[in-house]
Amino acid sequence: MTIDPITLAVLSGRMEQIADEMDATLFRAAFNPIIAEAHDASHGLYHALSGDTLVQGKSGLPIFVGVMSFAVKAVIDKVAETNDLADGDIFIFNDAHLGGTHLSDMRLVRPYFHDGKLFCWLASVGHWHDMGGAVPGNYNPAATDAFAEAFVLPPVRLARAGAINQDIIEILLRNTRLPQSAQGDLNGQLGALDLGIRRMNELLAEYGPETVRAALDALGERAEALMRAELTDLPDGRWEAVDYLDNDGITDTPLAIRVALSIKGDQMELDFTGTAPRCSGPVNIALPTAVATAYVAIKHIFPALPANAGVMRPITVTIPQGSLLAAEFPAPVGGYTETILRMIDVIFSAMSQAAPDRVVANAYGTINALSIAGKRKNGQPWVMFSFYGGGHGGTPEGDGLNHGNAPISTATIPPMEILEAAYPVMFRQWALRPDSAGAGQCRGGLGAVYEIEVLEENGAEAFLFGERGRFSPQGVSGGAEAAKNVFSYEQTDGWHHPPMASKMRGIKLAQGQAVRLETPGGGGYGPAAQRAPAAVARDVALGLLTEDAASRLYGDAWKEVRA
């Protein structure tokens, strides 16, 4: 069945609205700030047979576009074992080796039936606050297997033909330090799926299943055609880039992430041969996560393309077996965010050699997953988990964003007021970090300084999982690197730094003691010598750049402008 362009556009918007509304439903209902405030969640519609992404909400995390198709495929494979699927079934799991990302991300997958036949799948994923494991919040920098990271749940039926299996819920709530938060987040995800079912019923009642199915097929074909057209406009060739992770949290040895980007006609290959082998610590990622990361990078480079699996049809992603990008169960993968950020960095660096006008310099390159946990005077546990911002890379059109969130997401950094209201902490400082941006014709964005004091009289324990403590975010097209990540923690004898620079667990904090994050800026774009002296003088006047750094990085021409 063919479909006219106007109807296709209308149906595309309607289906995107369904996913957007599912996002909004969970954001309003979730109990934990990582979902409610930071929007670390996503919803979408997926192909009935392949599980490929058909439509995803615009408010959810881009990394979930790719990995959730793997989550749906895992459920499809499970159903195929018994050929047993009913309307109203809901599957739940967090196994990252099947569904990508890490064990904190809880996935719910539900079939959508129309007239008794499977039409598509709906899925919801959200970052739960705590899933057990050795470290509150689950970012355990010393984990050597998945069991030290969190409770592992394979795909199981949470509901059978609409009847909830309360036993599964009781198992989940028994394996978290924060059962009330988990219960609230689960209910929010169930509500989002219910809403998706109602909206799909309305859509098919209005347009009919054949028209909607034709629209979904056409959207995939259009996405593929657009991607091929974009690639045809680029030069043929092969370009390489390499960058490094500080260490794996176990052994203090750098780990290479290497890519060769090749374009030939309307096809592209991203070949990660030469990347470091699987490591002992939790910076490994599963294959679904690696493939999804390539998709996120492509979406950044070609922003006009839709969130549809058709985009990836002309692209081959080669991930070497045995590498840390293709880790198998039970390898630890809790720090996946750090590795996928480095993957995006090297893809951008390689693409900058082929088409410098399409990319930005490296962003700050770490979410700085910081958990501070303890017990209140009444014995109740508390866990403050959050991620923190930094500078984005300079662009062909202007300076990088100051204090943004990581380019793997559209999430927001939870506001200081929300965190202080929910947990016994006080932010002594939350400010831009002067001199942290990479110099360039268009400089990078500035990182930030966060200093967090513990107020609870019982004290607390802190855990950090970060990166970029040893290797700076890189500039492109002649731009300079940005400042490195610096973490410090207060003890009775003063301030200390982690031996592995960016990772540490079990930091004991007494009441009145604090931790401090000084996050990286973004790399610069273009040679610093080409930056307008007036722009340098403005940065100095605003306190973004000290006078000494301005002269060292850009010379003294800015002083004449200021005078």
pLDDT string in tens for the chain (563-residue length): 788 889 999 999 999 999 999 999 999 999 998 898 888 899 999 999 999 888 888 777 777 877 899 999 999 999 999 999 999 999 999 999 998 899 999 999 999 999 999 999 999 999 998 999 988 888 888 899 999 999 999 999 999 999 999 999 999 999 999 999 999 999 999 999 999 999 999 999 999 999 999 999 999 999 999 999 999 999 999 999 999 999 999 999 999 999 999 999 999 999 999 999 999 999 999 999 999 899 889 988 998 888 788 888 999 999 999 999 999 999 999 999 999 999 999 999 999 999 999 999 999 999 999 999 999 989 999 999 888 999 999 999 999 999 998 877 666 788 899 999 999 999 999 999 999 999 999 999 999 999 999 999 999 999 999 999 999 999 999 999 999 999 999 999 999 999 999 999 999 999 999 999 999 999 999 999 999 999 999 999 999 999 999 999 999 999 998 76
pLDDT of residue 432: 98
- pLDDT at residue number 408: 75
Say how many CA atoms lie within 13 Å of 419 toward its Cβ.
27
Residue 389 DSSP symbol: -
pLDDT for the residue numbered 38: 80
63-82 and 287-301 helices, crossing angle to 10°: 140
CB 381 within 8 A of CB 499: no
Residue 563 pLDDT: 61
Question: Concatenated DSSP letters for 194-249?
Answer: HHHHHHHHHHHHHH-HHHHHHHHHHHHHHHHHHHHHHHHTSPPEEEEEEEEES--S
Query: Quick one: which of 96, 231, 65, 94 has its CA closest to 171?
Result: 94
- Total Cβ atoms within 10 A of residue 141: 27
> Considering only CA atoms, which of 549, 533, 523, 507 is closest in space to residue 135?
507
**Which helix (H) or strand (E) covers residue 316, if one does?**
strand 315-318
Give the whole-angstrom CA distance, residue 144 versus residue 332: 6
What is residue 458's predicted lDDT score, i.e. its pLDDT?
A: 94
pLDDT at 373: 94
Tokens of 558: 């800015």
Instruction: List, as one string, the DSSP characters of 264-289.
Output: ETTEEEEE-TTPPBP-SSTT---HHH
C-beta of residue 477 within 8 angstroms of C-beta of residue 362:
no
Give residue 411's pLDDT: 67
Type of residue numbered 11: L
* Distance (Å, whole) CA 215 – CA 223: 12
How many Å apart are CA 506 and CA 261, to the nearest integer? 41
Q: DSSP letters along 64-125, please?
A: HHHHHHHHHHHHHHHHHHHT---TT-EEEE--HHHHSS-TTEEEEEEEEEETTEEEEEEEEE
State pLDDT tens for residues 230-244: 999 999 999 999 999
Question: In this structure, are residues 272 and 243 in contact, taking their beta carbons and an 8 Å threshold?
Answer: no
C-alpha–C-alpha distance, residues 236 and 451, integer Å: 48
Q: Are 520 and 483 in contact (CB under 8 A)?
A: yes
- In angstroms, the CA 330 to CA 332 distance is 6
Q: Are 524 and 433 in contact (CB under 8 A)?
A: no
pLDDT attached to residue 98: 92
At residue 297, the pLDDT reads 92
pLDDT of residue 410: 63
As a whole number of angstroms, the longest Cα–Cα distance in the chain is: 79
Parallel/antiparallel/unpaired status of strands 425-432 and 486-491: unpaired
- β-strand pairing of 117-127 with 105-114: antiparallel
- Checking phi first, is residue 506 left (phi over 0); if not, alpha (psi -120 to 50) or beta? left
* Whether this model's pTM surpasses 0.85: yes
Report phi then psi at 345, rounded to 5: -60, -45
What value does the CA radius of gyration of the chain take, rounded to a whole number of Å? 24
SS3 state of residue 134? coil
pLDDT digits (tens, 9 = 90+) for 56-73: 887 777 778 778 999 999
Quote the tokens at residue 530: 């080409």
